[in-house]
């Protein structure tokens, strides 16, 4: 069946039996292929029938389909003719999220959550203003992403419009983990309401008989189904916004899904369709074990779901251990995260101190400002997020934390070049952004000991924001300092009175050591230096540089406005004669590839750095 689907139009005339067969084939395809490459498995297994229904009822790309976050778009890729998953999330292969250069059916590439409804509102209003009344805009958003503030801002705006928007809430009760908060309780109340169970049984019988209807309330009266009418009239929070509500719908009943979407399309204005799905549906390991473990996987054995390669000791584990220890020592330490409790390493702390962890949902802005409030109340908040997601709360860091001199510590996981998740997940923006925040101090540890010490140091700062950034992956071998000059650590030195100084920040410290070794092999004296606390400019910099001819900086953040440029400006103002050469990430979006491939492309490996440095200095 799957081989017969080259575009969404090929779905239109399939029989019920063929649709069931197609859904089963898609699940088999996903398990077989994603287990080879890694990727988002659980979210896609849960939206098979829903995605088929969307493409049968709506006419993409004439009707715009927007996926929030986009990690559940693999089924959409298959139904729009993309069946080569052999290099998924690898260079030259399919992206792990929607990508405009792959297909006209892909619209939003940004894989940051809670944005789809704003996209849909803008697209739909554009169609209205252009007189394109026959086009519907469809936004698929999970219940986890619906906890984000932008989603509710968009719902507020949509409710005041008459544009043709169908909002599909894919409610599986989870994001990376179980969805929390007041909205989660509301949706859970709908999901578990006894009247819904009564309606679901009646609805399936009605749809099986091909019953046609214009609105649910009419049917509930005509058929005497008080359960349905009572349930729907309870969903006042959407009606009060001016948005019609349909649901909840069994998201794995193909016919049920399509009837609901057809009705939503015919209503013509903003409509919310509440669809219940199961993450990991149809895959025994996910159904029998923890479905969240299969949200995103590496290479796994498809029969068991177990990883092919054992997980390596990583930076996140070091933070998790240190955070747990801090919780035992200091009752004032509290933790906040944005729907990523386990991925950022807060689960052990939460298990030990459940009342001292606040998961705000996908709401980074709220997390940061509420952290400022916690600091005002006498606590020391630790906000743990992926580096790329702190971008979303820059104003709150600036105006709510820094302006108020709040002692808040930010732990930025997956900082720098992350690779296979593509342009929106590389944590390469933080240093260039945060160096402009008054009073903020930023640490870029190079190994396990410096990460542990940086975190402890950060907790002792109660009058300014502190940031500790660290990369994705395994922790390297310890890289001890040979000696220190103020706050500068000298990691390697070849010869006296060095002509070349190589500064390696954070994960690039080991690269600096390798680079000076190659420079020294050409008969040029050189040293490698770093600083754990890299912003503001660390004390001892001028002494460490001495009379060097050339200073080379390498960082895994933006070169423009990066920390290398900050250090150079400071040194020039002090009158040092050295020439400076900066290396890092260009001001552009990096397409998905491995970290090693990106580093090689950008000339950030030791061989390229050494060759460039040797070309800049005067040779005897």
Active site residue 102: no
Active site residue 279: yes
Asked if 504 and 492 count as a contact pair (C-beta separation under 8 A), the reply is: no
| 112 annotated binding-site participant | yes
CA distance linking residue 411 with residue 495, whole number of Å: 38
User: Phi/psi at 141 (nearest 5 deg)?
Assistant: -135, 140
Residue 483 Cα distances to 464, 528, 540, angstroms:
29, 11, 12
User: Phi/psi at 553 (nearest 5 deg)?
Assistant: -110, 140
> Torsion angle, CA of 213/215/220/221, rounded to 10 degrees?
-100
| 345 annotated binding-site participant | no
Given 322, 364, 448, 565, which residue is catalytic?
Answer: 364
| 303 annotated binding-site participant | no
Longest dimension (CA), the chain: 97
| 470 annotated binding-site participant | no
| 424 annotated binding-site participant | no
CA distance linking residue 19 with residue 254, whole number of Å: 8
CA distance linking residue 530 with residue 533, whole number of Å: 9
List strands edge to edge, sheet with 137-142: 64-67, 137-142, 165-171, 271-276, 244-250
Given 27, 77, 279, 472, which residue is catalytic?
Answer: 279
| 74 annotated binding-site participant | no
Residues 397-425 as b/e (b if ≥16 CB within 10 A, e otherwise) read: bbebbbeeebbbbbbbbbbbbbbbbbbbb
CA distance linking residue 302 with residue 286, whole number of Å: 11
- Token look-up 């870029």 returns 444
| 220 annotated binding-site participant | no
| 391 annotated binding-site participant | no
Given 56, 229, 392, 435, which residue is catalytic?
Answer: 392
| 215 annotated binding-site participant | no
Active site residue 392: yes
| 73 annotated binding-site participant | no
Angle of helix 254-267 relative to helix 48-57, nearest 10 degrees, comes to 40
Enumerate residues 6+ apart whose C-beta is below 8 A from 237. 186
Alpha helix ranges (H) inside 424-466: 430-434, 448-459
Give the residue numbers of the binding site for thiamine diphosphate: 71, 111-113, 144-145, 172, 283, 364
Positions marked catalytic:
279, 364, 392
Give the residue numbers of the binding site for Mg(2+): 143, 172
Give the residue numbers of the binding site: 71, 111-113, 143-145, 172, 283, 364
């Amino acid at each position: 069946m799957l081989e017969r689907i080259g575009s969404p139009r090929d779905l239109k005339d399939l029989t019920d039996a063929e649709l069931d067969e197609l859904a089963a084939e898609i699940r088999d395809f996903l398990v077989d292929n994603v287990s080879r490459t890694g990727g988002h498995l659980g979210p896609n297994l849960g939206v098979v029938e829903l995605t088929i229904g969307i493409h049968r009822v709506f006419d993409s790309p004439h009707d715009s389909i927007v996926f929030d976050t986009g990690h559940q778009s693999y089924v959409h890729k298959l139904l729009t003719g993309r069946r080569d998953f052999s290099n998924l999330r690898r260079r030259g292969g399919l992206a792990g999220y929607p990508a405009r250069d792959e297909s006209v059916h892909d619209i939003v590439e940004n894989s940051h959550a809670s944005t789809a409804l704003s996209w849909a509102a803008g697209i739909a209003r554009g169609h209205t203003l252009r007189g394109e009344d026959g086009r519907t805009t469809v936004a698929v958003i999970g219940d986890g992403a619906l906890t984000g503030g932008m989603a509710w801002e968009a719902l507020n705006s949509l409710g005041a419009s008459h544009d043709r928007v169908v909002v599909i809430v894919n409610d599986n009760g989870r994001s990376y983990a179980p969805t929390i908060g007041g909205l989660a309780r509301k949706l859970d109340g709908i999901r578990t309401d006894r009247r819904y169970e009564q309606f679901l049984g009646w609805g399936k019988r009605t749809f099986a008989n091909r019953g046609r209807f214009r609105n649910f309330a009419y049917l509930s009266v005509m058929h005497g189904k008080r359960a349905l009418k009572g349930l729907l009239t309870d969903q006042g929070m959407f009606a009060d916004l001016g948005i019609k509500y349909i649901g909840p719908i069994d998201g794995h009943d193909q016919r049920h899904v399509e009837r609901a979407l057809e009705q939503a399309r015919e209503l013509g204005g903003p409509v919310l369709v509440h669809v219940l799905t199961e993450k990991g549906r149809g895959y025994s390991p996910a159904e029998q074990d923890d479905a969240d473990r299969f949200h995103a996987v590496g290479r796994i054995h498809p029969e068991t779901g177990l990883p092919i390669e054992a997980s390596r000791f990583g930076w996140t584990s070091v933070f998790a251990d240190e955070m747990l220890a801090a919780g035992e020592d200091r009752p004032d330490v509290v933790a906040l995260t944005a729907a990523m409790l386990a991925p950022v390493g807060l689960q052990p702390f939460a298990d030990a101190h459940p009342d001292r962890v606040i998961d705000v949902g996908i709401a980074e802005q709220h997390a940061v400002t509420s952290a400022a409030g916690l600091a005002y109340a006498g606590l020391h908040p630790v906000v743990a997020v992926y580096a790329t997601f702190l971008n979303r709360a820059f104003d709150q860091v600036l105006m709510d934390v820094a302006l108020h001199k709040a002692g808040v510590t930010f732990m930025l996981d997956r900082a720098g070049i992350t690779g296979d998740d593509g342009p929106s997940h590389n944590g390469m923006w933080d240093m260039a952004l945060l160096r402009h925040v008054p009073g903020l101090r930023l640490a870029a540890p190079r190994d396990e000991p410096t990460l542990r010490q940086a975190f402890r140091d950060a907790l002792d700062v109660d009058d300014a924001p502190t940031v500790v950034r660290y990369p994705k992956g395994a922790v390297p071998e310890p890289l001890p300092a040979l000696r220190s000059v103020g706050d500068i650590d000298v990691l390697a030195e070849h010869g006296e009175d060095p002509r070349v100084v190589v500064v390696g920040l954070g994960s690039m410290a080991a690269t600096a050591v390798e680079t000076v070794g190659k420079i020294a092999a050409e008969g040029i004296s050189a040293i490698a230096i770093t600083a754990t606390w890299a912003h503001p400019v660390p004390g001892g910099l001028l002494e460490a540089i001495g009379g060097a001819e050339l200073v080379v900086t390498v960082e895994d953040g933006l070169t423009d406005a990066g920390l290398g440029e900050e250090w150079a400006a400071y040194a020039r103002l002090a009158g040092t004669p050295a020439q400076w050469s900066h290396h890092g990430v260009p001001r552009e979006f990096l397409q998905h590839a491995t970290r090693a491939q990106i580093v090689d492309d950008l000339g950030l490996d030791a061989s390229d750095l050494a060759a460039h440095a040797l070309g800049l200095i005067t040779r005897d």
